[in-house]
Structure formats: structure tokens, C-alpha cells
Amino acid sequence: MNIAIASDHAGFAMKQNLARWLAEQGHKVTDCGPADDRRVDYPDFALRACAVLRDGGVERAVLVCGSGIGMAMSANKLGGCRAAVLHSEWEAEMSRRHNDANVACFGARSMGPDIVQSCLKTFLATGFDGGRHADRVAKILNLDATGKRKETD
């Protein structure tokens, strides 16, 4: 799978470790920055990775900051990105099966590498259930029953 990855300064070390681990698992990784652990603004890097996802350059994105929350909030501002902050394999599975999440967010200050890798493995291996969940995801995406974007007021 092709995966974009990005972080802020707090998540830099974890991002580097995850990028190596993902490559070892056979994934193609696009590192969207930053290049070092100097202070940066997380929205810049979340949006950079999510733009690659939105434009079809990758199938999923992984974002890491101190809590995962800022990255998720930033990612969810970009159309087509459905980001979830993950803390467990169950959340990873449900975010994929029921919400068709395509962006996994993690908190480097609240989680260790083993649980993050476990969550990410589940996230990448789990498909979307579709069915009744597809109708709900369409509402998130603001699509009508034919798959066309609805006009908004």
C-alpha cells in the first residue's frame, strides 16, 4: 500500500520509526515532513500529507503529533480525508469498518511504539463494511445518493 506520513516536532521520532517499520512491512512511504524535530506547526504537515491522499498519490495517511488530536482536526478540514485518533486495535478496526477512515492519527506523548504499530497494522489490514455505513460516510462527504456532491447553503 502507498502511505503518506507526517508529523510535527513532538511526533517526529515516532514518525521516523513508523516510516521505517512501514517500509519493512512492504509499504511504499511518502514522507511529507518535517525533516527534523525543530518546532513546526502541525496543520502545515497534516494538510501536506492529506493533499497527497486527496489527490490520489497514496491510499492512506498516518499523522503523528503530541496527542494526535491537532493532526486529526487539521486533516478533517480537507475534503475526502476522514481522520481518526487511534488508541487501540478496536478503534483502528471500527474506524475502517464503519467510517472508512483513511487517515490514522497518533499521539507520540501518550502512546508507545508497540501499540501504535499494532493499531496501524489493524488499520491498514481492515476494509470498509459498506452497507448502512456507506450512507453515513456519504453524509460526511456531503454526497447525494448518486455519489454527486450536494449543493450547500
Give the residue numbers annotated as catalytic, written as ranges: 65, 98
Rounded-to-integer distance, Cα 75 and Cα 4, Å: 12
Q: How many CB atoms are located within 10 Å of the residue 10 CB?
A: 20
> What is the three-state SS of 14-42?
HHHHHHHHHHHCCCEEEECCCCCCCCCCH
32-40 contact pairs (CB < 8 A, 24+):
32/4, 32/5, 32/6, 33/6, 33/7, 34/6, 34/7, 34/8, 34/9, 36/12, 37/9, 37/12, 37/13, 38/9, 39/9, 40/8, 40/9
